[in-house]
Amino acid sequence: MVNETAIPKGATVTLNSVEGDLVVSRHATLKGEGSPPSVRVSGTVYCEGNNTFECNLSATGFEAEGNIKIHGKLEVKNNIEISDGYLEVDGNVSAASAEVDEALVVHGKLEAANIDVGGSLRVDGNIKAEAIDVGGSFRAKGEINAEDVDVGGSLEAEALVQLDSLSVGGTARVGGGKIREIDVGGCFESNAPLEFEDIEVGGTVSLAGKSKGERIEVGGILKVQGDLEFREIDVGGKIDISGSAAGEELEVGGKVSVYGALKLSGDLEVGGKIEVSGEIEAENIEVGGTLHSKKVQTQNHIEVGGLIATDEGATARFIEIGKRGEAKGTLRADEIIIGKDAHVEDVYGKRILLRNGVHARNVYGEEITVEADCRVEGETLYVNELRASSQVTFAKQPQKVNTLPL
């Protein structure tokens, strides 16, 4: 039979060690001996609630109802279980698992395989765990090293994190580090470089420069303060990158702003507007609205519904400008189609089609077709064939040449 030591209700008792279990009645206080004051319990500590420990405490197990305060450190071999109350510990906490109904506050370090808190979790020191489950809010000042973190409300981690997966219902802020999978319902922010595999966020994602990962899917806005490396980005609203970006594929429903260069090995698809201060490289580009960039180069095609404006021109195998569209800067491609009533500047291609009502400055091609009501303000040079409607205005007589100008 296990020995049991009891502390009466409201009493203050000083102990050194307890062989067996320790039962602490309501409103009782336990003090320890030595420097620092400490109490060792070989069995389990049972607390009836509203108890204070003025000492370091070590035990095989710890169970309590109501609120518990420990002015020292807490070491438990097996499990910590707090029902209908909170646990606050001034020092470090270590246990196989910790389950707290209301709140767990640790002013030192926290180490446990499994941590389950119904309300809020706050830790000032580093955290090491396998799984952390918090129903409300989770705030950590130190580093977090865990496999899975699941928070129903909000997470604020001021230092580096090392996580396999992070799931937060509301907002999450981390101090950089490495997270394999991120799933956040509201907003996610990393204020230092972050490595990741998958980010899925309903609202806004904010990343620090030099972040690197695989896939980003955001319902609203993606903001990056600096450079970003990625494999695939899918954003419903807007992207704002203050540096350069490099990856495979990028798809945005609204607007893209990149203040450096944008280099993609795959496709770029933008529903609205894209502005890139540097060069754009991609396999294919499709923009519904407008494209502004220093230079655009693709392996295959460029399709722009509205305006394409470049300082050093756009180059592709195929370029198409939409109906009533506009191109500012040179267009170069094997095949170029300029939509009805569009306005363009200099066009260079093997096969060029100007649909009805197009206004162009200069046209240089091997085979050129010009439909009715078009107007060419400057030169029209062709190598093989020119097919033009009788209702076309050429400011200069078209000329057949052996080679085209560069």
**Spatial distance between the Cα atoms of 334 and 193, rounded to a whole number of angstroms:** 42
Give per-residue pLDDT as tens, 251-275.
999 999 999 999 999 999 999 999 9
pTM for the structure as a whole = 0.92
Residue 355, both tokens: 């649909």
Residue 170, both tokens: 């509301």
Lowest-pLDDT range, 2-6, 48-52, 307-311, 335-339? 2-6
Question: In this structure, are residues 190 and 208 in contact, taking their beta carbons and an 8 Å threshold?
Answer: yes
Residue 33, both tokens: 């001996």
**Spatial distance between the Cα atoms of 4 and 20, rounded to a whole number of angstroms:** 6
What is the per-residue pLDDT for 397? 95
Mean pLDDT for the chain overall:
97
Which residue in 373, 378, 367 sits closest to 330, CA to CA? 378
> Which amino acid is located at 378 in the chain?
G
* pLDDT for 58 beyond 60: yes
By percentage, how much of the chain surpasses pLDDT 70? 100
**Spatial distance between the Cα atoms of 99 and 331, rounded to a whole number of angstroms:** 65
* pLDDT for 37 beyond 70: yes
Neighbours of 406 (CB within 10 A): 6
* pLDDT for 404 beyond 60: yes
- Give residue 2's pLDDT band: very low, low, confident or very high (50, 70, 90): low
**Spatial distance between the Cα atoms of 388 and 32, rounded to a whole number of angstroms:** 101
* pLDDT for 406 beyond 80: no
What is the per-residue pLDDT for 249? 98
- Give residue 1's pLDDT band: very low, low, confident or very high (50, 70, 90): low
Cα–Cα separations (whole angstroms), residue 329 to 308, 311, 313: 8, 6, 5
